[in-house]
Chain A
Amino acid sequence: MKKKKKNRTHLFFIAPGFILYTVFMMIPLAFAFYYSFFDWSGIGPMKFIGLGNFTKLFTSPRVSATFFSALGNNFKYLACVMLIITPIQIFFAYILYIKVRFHKYIRFMLFLPYVISTSIVGFFAIVLFDPNVGALNEIIGNLFGKAHKLAWLGDPNLVFKIFVGVIIWQCIGSGMMIFYANMQEIPEEIVEASVIDGCGEWKRFWRVVLPMLTSSLKTNITLSVIYAMTMFDLPYVLVGPQGGATGKLDFINMVFYRFAFGGTYFGETSIGFGSAISVVMFVIIFILTLVTKKLLKKLDY
C-alpha cells in the first residue's frame, strides 16, 4: 500500500522565522551559556574555569551583595507594578469604559507619554528633579529659601518613589489601552442584565467587568514580569550605571552591564562573568514566567 505523502507545506512558512530566530536568538543564547564557563575579557585567550563565575556570583560577599540587592530592587519594582501600576491602569481603563466627561481627552493625555522614548522621559525627569539645576528645586529655593531644597534623585528615601512615579506617568497608557480594549469586548447583554438586576457602578465593576478582564490581566501581568526583570534604560538615564550613589535604582540588568562592558576610561570588561549573570537572569525570568503562567491559570473563567 502506498504510504500517504505527508503535506509539509507549513515547514516552508516556519523556516524563515525559525532560521532567523535561531541565528539571532538561540545561537547567542547558547554562546552566553558557553562563555559563562570561561574567564574572558572579550578579547585574547579564554580560560576555562568551570562554574567559577557562578560561584563568584553567589559566594563573593561583595558581588553577591550587589547582585541580590539589585535583584531585590527588581522584585520591589515588580511589587509596585502589581499593587500600584496595574490597579491604576485598570481604574483609568474603566473611567474610559464608562465614558466619563472628557474621556477622549483623558485617553489622549494618558497615552501620550507612552510614545515618548525612555531616554527623553528620563531627561524630562532630570530637568525636573536635578538638585542643582532642576525646576522643582528652583521653585522651592525661590519660595522657601535654599535650605529647603531637596536632593530628589540623590535622596535614598525619595529616589525609588520618583522612579515609580515616572514609570506610572510614562507607562500607564499602554496597560490601560489593553484593559480598555478588553472591556470593549464585554458583551453588552451581560452589562445590561446587571444594570436591570440593580447593580451599581461599583458592584458592576467588581462583579461583572473585572472578572471579564482575565485575558488582558494575564497578558499584562506576564509582560510586566518580563519588563520588571529586564529593567535598565530609565534607571540608567536617571542615576547612571551604578544605580545611583545609594544603589537604590540598581537592577540586575545594570549589574550585568557593568561587569560585561565595564566603563569607558578605566573599567574592566568581563564577558565571561557577564555571561554568567545573564544565564542566571535567564533562569530567574524563565521560572518567574512559568510560575506566573501557572498562577494566572487559576484566574480562568
Chain B
Amino acid sequence: MKKKVLSLMLAGAMTAALLAGCGGGDDAKDPAKDQQETPKEDEKPEDGAQKDDTQGDQEGQDSQAGGEIGGSLVIWEHTDQFTEPLKAVVAGFNEKYPDVEVEIEVKTSDQYYNLLQTAMQAGETPDVFWTNGLATTHYKSYVEGGYMMDLTDKVDFSLYEGTTAMNIVTMEDGSIYSTPTAETGGRCVYYNKDIFEELGLKIPASFDEFEAILAKIAETDYTPIAFCATDPWTVLFQFEPVLNGMSVDWVQDYEKNGTVKVNDERVVAAYNKMLEWADKGYYGNGYLGVDGSGALLAFSKGEAVMCIDGTWNVAVIDENNPDLNYGAFQVPTATGDQPMVGTNSCGYGVSADTENPDAALAFVNYFATVEAQTIWVNALSSIPCTPAVVSENPVANEIASFDYLTESYYNILGYLANPDADETATSVWEADQCKVFAGALGVQEFVDSLQSLLVE
C-alpha cells in the first residue's frame, strides 16, 4: 500500500513538473508578448472610465459622441509597413474618442491569415482587423462564415464617391464588410535624379526612349534597373507597367469588353521583353538571388539607376536612404501616354462578435473620413485616389501626374476565374511566375496554363 501511495505521489509530481514546464511561459513574462496581449475581460476599462492623463484630459469633452463611447478595442494589422500610418490614424481617432483604448497588434509575416483564422475559430476574433478585401478569397469566406459585421449602412463611405475605391470591398450583392483606403496602389518607375543628370538622361517620352535609356545606362558601371525574380509580386509590379508601355490596348480591350486572353501575344511579348532585358544585363547579374527589399535597397543605395515597383514604397526608399535624390514617372507608351496600373487598397473590417461594437464602428467610421485618410496617405507617402485627400510628399505627387489608370493583370486573372476549375489562376500565377525568369518554364507555357483556368 505504501508503495502504491509513493508511486502515485511520484507520478503526480512528475505530471506537475511536466505541466509546469509547459506552462512556464505564463510566469516568465515576455515584455514583447505583454505588449501584444489582448487585455483580459476583467481588465478592460468600463465605458467612460478614466484614461491616462495625456489622452483623457486632452480631448475629453471634444465630442459629445466621443464622450459616450469608451472601452477597449483591439486592431490587427498585417504588416509593419502599415503600423506607423495606423498609429497616426489611431492618434487622430483618440482625439475624438479619448475614452476608447486602442491596442494595435501587428501580426506580421506570412502567418497573418493563419493567425486570424485561428483566432476566429477560437472565438477570439479581434474587434477590428485588416483583410485584403476581394483581392483574396479570405474576405469572402469570412463574410460567408459570419465572422464580419455588415457595414453597408453603418459607415459613411461618401468620401469614395466617384472613385473605384469601393470595388475592393463591395460584395456581389452590394453589401460592404470593410472600409477601403483612399490610397491607390500603383506601380511606377523610381529614378535616381543625380545619376540621370550625371549621364545626361531625361525622363523618357516614349517606350523606345525608355529602352534607349536602359541601353545607355548599361554601358556604364550602374545597373539600369534593380529587379528581383524571386518574388512573384516584385515581378508583377514591373511586368504590368512594361505591358502597359508596350501594349496598353491589351488592358483597354479588357476594360472595353470585360474579357481578354491572358495568353495573348501582347502579354507574351511583354514577358519576352523583360527576359531580353535580363539577357542584356539591364537587371545586373544578381536578380535571381535577391528579394524585393534587396532590389529596393540596391536602388536606394544608388547602385541601380531605376526601380519599377509599387508606389507604396516611397516611405521605404526614404527610410533606406533619406538623402537619395529621386523622382518617379510611368513607363510611357509608344505614343507618349503615361498610364498607371492602379489597384484599390483595403482597410479594416469589424468582427461580427465584437464586444464593443460602438467603439469598433466609431473607428471604421473615423477611418472613412477625409481627416483619417489624409493622415493615412501622408504617413504612407502614397497616392490618393480622390482629390479630397491631398498628399504632401513630392515624389507621391510626381507619381500622381499619370495620364490615366489601368487595371492590373493580376486582378484580371481573379475577375475571369473559372469557378469550376481545380485551381485558381492567381495561385498558379503565384507559384509559377518566378520560374519563367529562372528559365524553368517557358512564357507561352506559363500564360497558357493561366488561360486554361479562366472562363472562355
**B289 and A266 contact, CB distance less than 8 A:** no
**B440 and A247 contact, CB distance less than 8 A:** yes
A262 beta carbon closer than 8 Å to chain B: yes
**B430 and A269 contact, CB distance less than 8 A:** no
Closest A residue by C-beta to B147: A43
The residue that A266 contacts in the complex, of B132, B422, B435, with Cβ under 8 A, is B132
Given A151-B285, A263-B110 in contact, is the A130-B117 Cβ separation under 8 Å?
A: no
Closest A residue by C-beta to B114: A261
Contact with A along B12-40 (1 / 0, CB 8 A): 00110010001000000000000000000
Q: Which residues in B have their C-beta under 8 angstroms from that of A17?
A: 18
**A245 and B120 contact, CB distance less than 8 A:** no
Closest A residue by C-beta to B288: A154
Shortest CB-to-CB span from A233 to chain B, Å, is 14
**A44 and B289 contact, CB distance less than 8 A:** no
| Complex CA–CA separation, A111 to B410 (angstroms) | 48
| Complex CA–CA separation, A41 to B18 (angstroms) | 34
Q: Which residues in A have their C-beta under 8 angstroms from that of B298?
A: 132-133
The residue that B230 contacts in the complex, of A155, A156, A242, with Cβ under 8 A, is A242
Q: Which residues in A have their C-beta under 8 angstroms from that of B427?
A: 267-268
- Please give the number of chain A residues whose Cβ is less than 8 angstroms from any Cβ of chain B in the complex: 50
Q: Which residues in A have their C-beta under 8 angstroms from that of B18?
A: 16-17, 20
A153 beta carbon closer than 8 Å to chain B: yes
**B289 and A43 contact, CB distance less than 8 A:** no
**A267 and B110 contact, CB distance less than 8 A:** yes
Shortest CB-to-CB span from B7 to chain A, Å, is 4
**Which of B22, B112, B120, B430 lies at the interface centre, i.e. has the most chain A CB atoms within 10 A of its CB?**
B430
The residue that A245 contacts in the complex, of B288, B295, B449, with Cβ under 8 A, is B288
Interface size classification for chain B: 35 or more
**B430 and A267 contact, CB distance less than 8 A:** yes
Given A42-B117, A247-B435, A265-B233 in contact, is the A133-B287 Cβ separation under 8 Å?
A: no
Of the stretches A7-15, A25-33, A217-225, A287-295, the one at the interface is A7-15
**B435 and A245 contact, CB distance less than 8 A:** yes
A72 beta carbon closer than 8 Å to chain B: no
Shortest CB-to-CB span from B360 to chain A, Å, is 20
The residue that A151 contacts in the complex, of B3, B142, B286, B430, with Cβ under 8 A, is B286
**B430 and A131 contact, CB distance less than 8 A:** no
| Complex CA–CA separation, A94 to B42 (angstroms) | 62
**A155 and B11 contact, CB distance less than 8 A:** no
Closest A residue by C-beta to B132: A265
Closest A residue by C-beta to B410: A266
Interface residues of B in 100-149 (CB under 8 A from A): 109-114, 117, 120-121, 132, 135-138, 141-142, 144-145, 147
B274 beta carbon closer than 8 Å to chain A: no
B418 beta carbon closer than 8 Å to chain A: no
Q: A43-B141, A247-B440 are in contact. List 11 more A-B contacts (CB 8 A).
A: A12-B11, A42-B117, A43-B147, A131-B288, A149-B286, A151-B285, A154-B288, A245-B437, A245-B438, A246-B440, A269-B113
